[in-house]
Chains A and B, each alone.
Chain A
């Protein structure tokens, strides 16, 4: 048995089986269980190392060849796989609590499998093709059957598709730069191509306008899932580039450009979030801000860049799932999600509103919540880099905080004598409680992530060393 078969082919096939054969009722729970098992397996069974269980020897080989290309998942990928499938399991089980249709369970498993393939494929430039395939697979999730695709969906597909040729072209150009390092023109060309490719993938300003549009048009839960999965894998893909082409991160100009892009994302995300009248769009801008923080961290040229980025990525998964889940519960009561429609809902859906606000505050880096340790680490690094950049980032985060207090004020402004009541289902109560408990657990004891974080720098040969 090889690792790519277990963590790529198996979930992909399981997704297809769920789509065509499993009844609606069991789809999410089956998908969630499989993802949880895959997460546990990644944690327990080391890849490419013989494991003795009594007289039985088990060894999961690291690679598999496929049409002349190989897919490789090494022992260092174990923690990453565990994290990815663990968060995916939470998304799927929450989807069960929302009674989501089986398309979500099936396609989300297939998307995660394709994205996992993107970090395993050799030559690694093929990852951009797999990312594009995942984006295309997301379209049926975003557009209900027999309905016309909205502007947000079209923009999403356009920007994700535009990224692919830029990255493929830059890969070709980078090979030329490696052969002839003194050729400044080639370096500039390849750098610009690469930058544009990742600008489309990450949704750097102004390429992120599909995010708020999507959050108005389609289910916030589906968009939340895409914002988590695509950004997480794009980040790992980008770190792979920085690792392989060390001159990119060594170049002060390129680093400055990355920091500038990240800062613009953080500031614009925060400022736009503070001005929104739609709580779904607020989540979109918060996700943009958080992606901006990741981009910013990449440009800091810090030896601790890998730790900081994964410390940002892991809580992001939990924040987005809790936020999108709570938003989906609220959306059933207030379809448009405009502030005027969610007024006073804290008394009808106290748990969903509490979870939403906890997730929102976590993204701002509120103490005790999951986002705080990563923000604290990033502030320390930023302070050493530039106080001006720190100020702008601070301003962006301040904007998001204003959005959080605005949303909170509207949620709690119930009419006089409005009674408190819990209208969430038992499954929703359990998942919301688990999510919020997780946010607090990571915020108060970030060392619980250490078993995962300790192995992640091994994914990269040069980065952070």
Chain B
């Protein structure tokens, strides 16, 4: 029931905001309602700790004989860190909104709250059927919001392409269901067939842009800091939550090393592009790909706790950086603490990220991790393009800072308590090497031209080179289109009925072959 209370608080606040917007109420009242809803939701989430683990299910669909799985949610050591991160991010978005006076849009706040509610439901989904429904809702909300906020044919096309990759991810999850049922297993996370496990990884990887490597989102900052951050990070978290449920038995497949290799390539690519991105918002898609790829690597190495840790880092560390639109010395220093959370050093948020051996892939993973850490440090210290807090009233400064500090504090809190991945010493040598390499990269960035940021207009789906590979698939598609047009024209033409009768004769011949 607590799951329902927490998510309902967010949905309710969103509903009240919409009502207030329609009645043209004062923006300050609307903001207070939004923050109140977000704060209550976060408090209620911490109350879960007293009762965990617990479940909540909605009445099953009917007829019962056809729908075996109920809509089921579960709060446990795997879902709690995600829930806490999403709730904190939602509240932080609303708190930091005070520093963005031109964007006091209750619709955007309502959107962030509703997304937070959906995110909570997604990460607590306890069977793929429930997750399918929540993914569907998230994808539709994201599609509508993005189409409303972009302009021009190319941007609109990108939005639809990213929507299509995510629904193909939904398709893969459904295929995992079919494989699991065909193998005689039920389709819930506890008893899923090992044969279906890799499809789960592929489904999450496809939605995140990791397997195969592609940009699921546009590289440009078309969505605003607050709402855009909510979209990108919560959407990614909803996919990462699936990685925590991959059955260990499924990783013995011969395909696992190939998938690991693809994930490592994605991590290196994401890290490299993130390091060289001109600013954090343009680099945001690469941040998501890089961190998500590390989560996939953890899951494929048999460590679901690692996937959760990277997922939380993606939200909390990324959220604190993407929401920072104000130049403030202490704030910049506080943000740097995110590097600790990314380091996988003992007792950090990602301390349990590498509990299993990575073998041949370890050096590459260390390199990818170092690229992401150094990129984070570079963006956190970047002063240009940010406003100043000096001219703002004291309360506004305090509220804004509390939003960022909330995310930083939660990184430390989750490093030491609240779930199975807390207080882990982990692979300290791996972490030390990654941290050292990151420090070298930070030192070398201003000194080596190759590490310098690239120009903003160079960063894009078309110029990235990755998506140009996929354009080759159009040639195959065009060829198939030509064949299908020929068949259709033949069957629909003047001689169509004769062709139809020929097919009929062939069909009967085929069937009679099977008869004794």
Which residues of A are interface residues toward B (Cβ below 8 A)? Answer: 151, 155, 158, 188, 192, 195-196, 199, 205-207, 209, 212-213, 253, 256-257, 260, 271-272, 275, 304, 307-308, 311, 344, 346, 365-369, 372-373, 376-377, 379-380, 382-384, 387, 390, 394, 397-398, 401-402, 405, 408-409, 412-417, 444-447, 450, 453-454
**Contact of B157 with A413 in the complex, beta carbons under 8 Å:** yes
Residues of chain B lying within 8 A (CB to CB) of residue A213: 492
**Contact of A376 with B492 in the complex, beta carbons under 8 Å:** no
Say whether, besides A379-B177, A394-B171, A447 and B61 are in contact (CB < 8 Å).
Answer: yes
**Contact of A373 with B178 in the complex, beta carbons under 8 Å:** no
The answer to the question of B152 belonging to the interface, with a C-beta cut-off of 8 Å to chain A, is: yes
**Contact of B178 with A412 in the complex, beta carbons under 8 Å:** no
Interface residues of B, count at CB 8 A: 57
Tally of A-B residue pairs with Cβ under 8 A? 150
Query: B361 CB to closest chain A CB, in angstroms?
Result: 31
Residues in B44-91 with C-beta less than 8 Å from chain A:
59, 61-63, 65-68
The answer to the question of B459 belonging to the interface, with a C-beta cut-off of 8 Å to chain A, is: no
Query: B122 CB to closest chain A CB, in angstroms?
Result: 12
Residues in B166-208 with C-beta less than 8 Å from chain A:
167-168, 170-171, 174-175, 177-182
Query: B194 CB to closest chain A CB, in angstroms?
Result: 15
Query: B147 CB to closest chain A CB, in angstroms?
Result: 5
Residue of A nearest to B136 (CB): A367
Interface stretch among B293-301, B460-468, B498-506? B498-506
**Contact of A151 with B492 in the complex, beta carbons under 8 Å:** yes
Which residues of B are interface residues toward A (Cβ below 8 A)? Answer: 59, 61-63, 65-68, 129, 132-133, 135-137, 140, 147, 151-153, 156-157, 159-161, 163-164, 167-168, 170-171, 174-175, 177-182, 480-481, 484-485, 487-488, 491-492, 496-497, 499-500, 503-504, 508, 511-512, 514-515
Chain A interface main SS type:
helix
**Contact of B65 with A307 in the complex, beta carbons under 8 Å:** yes
**Contact of A253 with B514 in the complex, beta carbons under 8 Å:** yes
Chain B interface main SS type:
helix
Query: A356 CB to closest chain B CB, in angstroms?
Result: 14
Residues of chain A lying within 8 A (CB to CB) of residue B160: 405, 408-409, 412
- Among B63, B147, B500, the residue within 8 A (CB) of A412 is B147
How many Å lie between the Cα of A163 and that of B231 in the bound state? 54
Residues of chain A lying within 8 A (CB to CB) of residue B147: 346, 412
Q: List 10 A-B contacts (CB under 8 A).
A: A188-B512, A196-B504, A206-B504, A209-B492, A367-B136, A380-B68, A383-B180, A408-B160, A415-B153, A444-B133
- Among B61, B171, B491, B514, the residue within 8 A (CB) of A446 is B61
Residues of chain A lying within 8 A (CB to CB) of residue B504: 196, 199, 206-207
Nearest 8 A-B pairs (CB), nearest first? A367-B136, A383-B181, A405-B164, A413-B153, A377-B66, A275-B484, A409-B160, A447-B62
Query: A252 CB to closest chain B CB, in angstroms?
Result: 9
Say whether, besides A275-B485, A367-B133, A412-B160, A308 and B66 are in contact (CB < 8 Å).
Answer: yes
Residue of B nearest to A184 (CB): B516
Say whether, besides A205-B503, A307-B63, A188 and B515 are in contact (CB < 8 Å).
Answer: yes
Residues of chain A lying within 8 A (CB to CB) of residue B508: 192
Residues of chain A lying within 8 A (CB to CB) of residue B515: 188, 253
